[in-house]
Amino acid sequence: MLYFRQILIMLVSLYTVRVVLETLGAEDYGIYNVVGGLVVMFTFLNAAMTTATKRFLNYALGQNDTEQARNVYSISFIIHILIALLVVILAETIGLWFFYNLLNIPPDRQTAAFFVYQLSIIATVINILHVPYHATIIAYEKMSFFALLSIIESILKLGIVFLLPIIFFDRLIVYAFLVCITGIAVFFIYKIYCNRTFEIAHFRYSKDKKLFWQLAGFSGWSIFGGFANVSRNHGINVLVNIFHGVTVNAAMGIAMQVNSSAYQFVSNFQTAFNPQIIKSYATKDSDRFIRLIFQTSKASFFLLFLFMLPLYLNVEFVLQLWLKDVPDYTVVFTKIILLVSLVEAIAGPLWMSIQATGNIKNFTIIVSCFIFANLPLSFLFLWAGFSPVSILIIKFGLSILALAFRIIYLGSKINLPIKEFLYTVIAPVIIIAGVSTCITLFFNCFFIDWARLVFSCIISTMSISCLVYFIGIDKKEKSLLHNWIKHKFKK
């Protein structure tokens, strides 16, 4: 269900970006991205609390403690309301000052950008309030409903795209308004479903102060990670706007959209596995806990690389087909961001494993320093006159350093067998990526345009699949694969 969801969402979102870019123009599309990103910068508190809510819900359900899960839901709901109020205050004070004094927005689009900013605040508040519902659905592993609702949301956004060309009012404002309305509608669907389906999803006042401070303490350390991630993703977008204007923001927004579409395949896979990682730790099944980390890291990389390789080798042709008029820097931005996502695909399960333990203080502080370093380093390079490409090269380098630290740290904290991880995960990943890339590049020399794209997809899929089978998976995993295939044939 998650994969079917993602294929449909990817097609819809890619088509949506093309029409929106064509209808709004590169300037307005860039304004939409940078202004929306400015609001999202204030949601690092929510990112921290989201992590805490999911972790504690999964842990309580892993121990079959329904009462504790109900308390987690109720307390997290209160905290998210407080976070939403704080985000509004920050956005309407510091954010507005930033909007008027630092953002590089053309004077004739200032009013439209202001309306987009206010609508983005409303949309962000709605996203904050729906976190407890979303966390509950994932904790109960109701992936079919999660997938279905995402599909409905994509269809609604597709409807917005079809309306844009016939609108005579300011299309940027109308687009932001309709996206906001869609978010509100989806929020109420989440609420109604959770209230009717899950016994824990009913708010009640809880006097469990210990749990409150556990959630607050866990999210307190996660704030570092949330702030660092927001700074890296949206802070850099603001820096690009200050130094290079909204057109380069459009290029960055397109590259992020391509990457988001590809990475969602991995995100869906990890969404299904994450509750199992936490629950296996809660039940003290250490063998399964370590095995899930290995399998999820490895499989996450292979799933992303399967989609990424033909795209990476044909990205200029694909972007021209998709967008017609491709803004400057879009091609190189897309390539580097895809490489960053490959590193993040391996790192995702490592981060989830430390969340499962609940002891995240030192890990979060150090990893957050690696991530946050993107912002000051990017500022220095842009201020020194370097190309905006340099900030993504910095991002890629810091992602590799952060991955290395995660592996070393987990070796001492959860007894992750580092040598085995390097031998069974990192080594196969490097070998398979290198060999399959060389094979596909060789055959690409004989084709151009559509033929090259089609043959790249075929050759890369065949080479990656064969290499994964012979090098990427061990005997136990091969046995599981054989049994799964036999079961499917019997059906």
**Sign of the four-CA dihedral 173, 179, 182, 186:** negative
Q: At what angle do helices 246-282 and 330-357 cross, to 10 degrees?
A: 20
Q: What is the pLDDT of residues 116-170, one digit of tens each?
A: 888 888 888 888 888 888 888 877 777 777 777 777 887 888 888 788 778 777 8
How far from chain centre, in Å, is Cα 335?
A: 17
The model's pTM: 0.72
CB atoms within 10 A of CB 128: 24
Which residues neighbour 308 within 8 Å (Cβ) at sequence distance 6 or greater? 262, 338, 341, 342
Residue 16 identity: T
- Output the pLDDT for position 200: 79
pLDDT, residue 186, reads: 87
pLDDT at 42: 59
Work out the angle between the directed axes of helices 427-444 and 286-313 (0-180°, nearest 10).
Answer: 20
Give residue 439's pLDDT: 93
The predicted pLDDT at position 91 comes to 84
CB 289 within 8 A of CB 353: yes
Which residue positions in the chain have pLDDT lower than 50?
A: none
Half-sphere exposure of 387 (CA within 13 A, CB side): 8
d(CA 73, CA 207) in angstroms, rounded, equals 13
Predicted pLDDT at 393: 92
Q: What is the residue extent of each domain of the chain? A: 2-416, 424-491
Cα separation, 11 vs 22, in Å, equals 17
Per the listing, tokens 């205050």 go with 89
Neighbours of 292 (CB within 10 A): 23
Judge whether 129 and 147 are in contact, CB under 8 Å: no
